[in-house]
Amino acid sequence: MSLSPLFWPIQLKSKVIYILDETLLPRKLSYIKARNYEEACRAIKEMKTRAVGQVLLVMYIFLQLLKQGKRKDLIKAAQAINATRPTLSFKSLTDIVLGWAKKGAPLEKCILGFLEGLKYSRIKQAEEVSKLIRDGDVILTHCNISGLMPLIGEFCRQQNKKVSFFTTETRPYLQGSRLTAWELKRAGFDVTIITDNMVAAVMSLGKVNKVIVGADHLAKNGDIANKIGTYGIAVLARHFKLPFYVLCPPASHLKSGREIKIEMRPDKEILEYQGLRLAPQGVKGYYPAFDVTPAGLITKHIYMEIKR
């Protein structure tokens, strides 16, 4: 079973971290080199990597420090990582590593074990979702869940179930069209792109019959934060009586979605696209990068177990 390049977009080779530059896809499959944690943190801020890529990158930053003999910089690196972007819970990741260090555990081994566990858990998650899919289903998805969607498709194939996909383009960064459609087509699946405002139309016309999305943050009560637009799709799925499944990261310490800090990004990112001005000069935009979907709209959470 071959995996999408997005499933494991970060590598560490001879003390250099290689980060798949997701902003260049699908035009170019290329990797950015990060020689230290500052360069790696910049890649997070500039959204060169996202979703699970961020989780991997955090772990590889610490591994890199160890390989470079810079164990003394662990805390400084953790602080820089925590300050990159607010919605994914970077602190809960760096706390795991700092916790191991504090206990005097064998750090490199712990991190490698964590990464192995993450890989295993993600594959299990995809397999679990595939069991919810019936022959002939058409799945609507939004944004990108880092290689899990083609993997779900592969599990369906193994189970002799035909599945096809619709993806929103996911403005403003177009991860749905640039990443999800790209990796699904690459893996030989039938995939159709719609603009974000076509969800009600395709649902009402019966063109899709299940929704599967990921999440950047899971609060203790089951509320999730995910790419802007997810909340609206969840409301529509409820209205049209379609199941809405969420592949979740491990839960954070936050009680509910109301406590999740939503990242506000520069409005330039919605008013321009790749240097092309889309909006009239002088008009402002509003760009929350995520929204919070209440647990009550989620048909089923697919949880992830990570050993710590």
User: How many of the other CB atoms lie within 10 Å of CB of 116?
Assistant: 11
Question: What residues numbered 58-97 form the site for a copy of itself, per CB under 8 A?
Answer: none
**By CB under 8 A, is residue 265 in contact with a copy of itself?**
no
Check 137, 216, 223, 291 and give the catalytic one: 216
Q: Tell me whether residue 8 or residue 166 sits nearer to a copy of itself (CB atom).
A: 166
Residue from 94, 141, 146, 168 touching a copy of itself (CB under 8 A): that is 168
Helix (H) or strand (E) holding 90, with range, is: helix 90-102
CB of 278 to a copy of itself, least distance (A): 6
**Distance (Å, whole) CA 241 – CA 301:** 17
Our answer to whether residue 73 is catalytic in this structure is no
- Residue length of the chain: 308
Tokens of 263: 């990242």
Please tell me whether the peptide bond between 172 and the residue prior to it is cis, using omega within 30 degrees of 0: yes
Do strands 191-194 and 210-213 pair parallel, antiparallel, or not at all (unpaired)?
unpaired
**Distance (Å, whole) CA 2 – CA 22:** 19
Q: Tell me whether residue 125 or residue 177 sits nearer to a copy of itself (CB atom).
A: 177
Cα first-last separation, the chain? 28
**By CB under 8 A, is residue 169 in contact with a copy of itself?**
yes
User: Which residue from 19, 15, 14 is spatially nearest to 6, judged by alpha carbons?
Assistant: 19
Question: What residues numbered 190-219 form the site for a copy of itself, per CB under 8 A?
Answer: 191-202, 204, 207
**By CB under 8 A, is residue 5 in contact with a copy of itself?**
no
**Amino acid letter for position 232:** G
Judged by CB under 8 A, the stretch of 65-73, 76-84, 105-113, 228-236 that binds a copy of itself is: 228-236
Residues that bind a copy of itself (CB under 8 A): 26, 142, 166, 168-172, 174, 177-178, 181-182, 185, 191-202, 204, 207, 228-229, 231-232, 235-236, 239, 267, 270-271, 273-274, 276, 278-288, 291-292
Q: What is the set of active-site residues?
A: 216
